[in-house]
Amino acid sequence: MKLKAALIGLVGAVSIQALSGSAGALELTWNPKQDIVGREHRLVAKKEYTFVDLGEQYNFGFNELVSANPGVDAWLPAEGDQIVIPGRFILPPGLRNGILINLAEYRLYYFQPDKKRLYTVPIGIGTVDFPTPIMDTKIVTRMKNPTWYPPESIRQRQLDEYGEQLPRAVPAGPDNPLGAYAFKLDADSYLIHGTNKGVGIGMRVSHGCIRLYNWDIKQMMSMVPDNTPVKVINQSVKLAVDGGKLWMEVHAEADVTEQQLREEYAYQLLKLQSTGVSVMVDEEKVTKALAELTGLPSPVGELQPSLAASMSSGS
């Protein structure tokens, strides 16, 4: 469906490509000392459309749009609804030269420190029964029009539950869930690949592999060399200091309790404080962020005055 929407309340430029509605990875300027990137912006709907349509048009995952827009019907937004496009991110901790995947937020980050750029795209991940593992690996090769070799466990499950006998090899084509392109990882049979379906990005849909929109995997194929390191984490709570404030971003599935999130928040705060950062936390704002789960960075505290003055002066 052709989307008709107007930008309102723009809080700063992100990728012109993303804002114009053209498919492609969100490209952002970045330096290694930067922990928050991008800008949030908003749309006002001119006609009814689904978040699946909007996700494909603006290159976001279905779940990201649902979380960022509580109260908006994901399948039938009303004309005039203001819709948040969550284009601002607290960067997950860890790897800063290669591909970093955070399962909790259904998002892949590709860092190019030599060019001071990063690219980020939404992803689909493994189901509850076939979860995507946490791992440190690398890209070993790439494939065009890959053949899919269903693992025996998947073939047996398909037979038991649906009475369908999957072939041992599925060639490229409309029945192949890998799409037209795939990266092979140095980890069992896991891949980063495209898709043969129009939905599933921002959802638990795969048998453990990382699924991208077809235009994103095609773009990545031209940018990412073999032997690029790949790190997969699962971090629901992210914290960062920026502009004298403590920022927090929370992502969680329905089966994650608020207590679990609060414990992860406490752990991440301790890690941050162990680096010498001293903050005054607003516990009401923390509780609000843990309850709402919008996936949007929000301020939940401030640097101690002496430290904030020191950081702003550059001393």
Angle between helices 283-292 and 258-273 in degrees, nearest 10: 130
Annotated catalytic, 41?
Answer: no
Residues 6+ away with beta carbon under 8 Å from 117: 27, 28, 29, 30
Catalytic residue, candidates 41, 193, 207, 251: 193
The Cα 194–Cα 8 span in angstroms is 32
Catalytic residue, candidates 41, 207, 209, 251: 209
Helix (H) or strand (E) holding 307: helix 305-313
Residue corresponding to tokens 């591909």: 99
CA-wise closest residue to 25 among 163, 178, 213: 213
Hey, which residues does 28 pair with through a beta bridge? 118
The Cα 146–Cα 173 span in angstroms is 9
Whole-number CA gyration radius for the chain? 20
Say if CB 187 and CB 137 are below 8 A apart: yes
Q: CB-hemisphere CA count at 13 Å for 66?
A: 17
The Cα 252–Cα 235 span in angstroms is 9
Annotated catalytic, 209?
Answer: yes
Residues 6+ away with beta carbon under 8 Å from 169: 147, 148, 149
The Cα 231–Cα 200 span in angstroms is 22
The Cα 21–Cα 52 span in angstroms is 13
Residues 6+ away with beta carbon under 8 Å from 253: none
Catalytic residues: 193, 209
